[in-house]
Homo-oligomer: A and B are copies of this chain.
Amino acid sequence: MHDLAGEDPDVRFSPYCWRTRFALAHKGLPVETVPWRFTDHDAIAFSGQGKVPVIQDDGKTVFDSWTIATYLEDQVPAPTLFGGTTGRAHALFVNAWADSVLVGGIARFIVRDLLDVIAPKDRDYFRSSREARFGRSLEEVQAGREDRLTVFRDALLPVRLVLRRQQWLGGAAPSYADHIIAGTLMWPRCASRFELLDRNDPVAEWQDRMLDLYGGLGRSAKRP
């Protein structure tokens, strides 16, 4: 698996690669990760596209975290990530919410911190592509983040409401819905020291449980 890495090859912070890491761990599948940087175009050219995660399994290449999750579920049905076709369809909504609301929301808190974590050779690309996307400098995007915390935390209300009724997004046991959101939250955790969650938030308590799963896979991840 090609996995986005920082200047320190042990710092892995991609919200999409983390979804895949959790899904692989859930299935009990061993994985060898290859540190990859944004500008390592040639390294994943074999996949026919330019983003990670990319996995290679028994001669097959699969990319895109959602596609990888469905591939894993089809190849190794148990323990399940989705609990069937309707569960898979419903998880796509969680994925879409995370990709839009969560990734978009978090970016504004850590995008300047990311610049310090990524490999020096990636920095020009990262700054220019992200500044074009936001229409402002990375410093301006991230400025005043403390004042925006309440709005961000309020946007997590759907997760909070679910956790009032069940221990995991997946119900009585973790599912890929948990991997999606916990994987996304590994991004700020591994790219910044900024605390996005109130530690008394049920979402933070759930995140703590997620960090301990799979032998502490999330907990032991290197932070900057």
Say whether A168 faces chain B, with CB atoms less than 8 Å apart: yes
Is B170 touching A86 in the complex (CB atoms < 8 A)? yes
Residue A94 contacts which of B90, B101, B160 (CB distance < 8 angstroms)? B90
Residue A100 contacts which of B99, B157, B168, B177 (CB distance < 8 angstroms)? B157
Is A169 touching B96 in the complex (CB atoms < 8 A)? no
Say whether A60 faces chain B, with CB atoms less than 8 Å apart: no
Interface set, chain A 94-146, CB cutoff 8 A to B: 94, 96-97, 99-101
Say whether A161 faces chain B, with CB atoms less than 8 Å apart: yes
User: Among the listed stretches A23-31, A76-84, A189-197, A204-212, which one makes contact with chain B, having 4 or more residues with CB under 8 Å of it?
Assistant: A76-84
The distance from the CB of A160 to the nearest CB of chain B, in whole angstroms, is: 8
Say whether A166 faces chain B, with CB atoms less than 8 Å apart: yes
Residues of B within 8 A of A82 (CB): 86
Is B101 touching A175 in the complex (CB atoms < 8 A)? no
Say whether A75 faces chain B, with CB atoms less than 8 Å apart: no
The distance from the CB of A189 to the nearest CB of chain B, in whole angstroms, is: 21
Is A93 touching B94 in the complex (CB atoms < 8 A)? yes
Residues of B within 8 A of A170 (CB): 86, 89-90
- Write the chain B residue with the least CB distance to A163: B96
Is A158 touching B87 in the complex (CB atoms < 8 A)? no
Known: A83-B83, A87-B89. 9 other contacts (CB 8 A): A80-B86, A86-B170, A89-B166, A93-B94, A93-B158, A96-B157, A96-B160, A96-B161, A101-B157
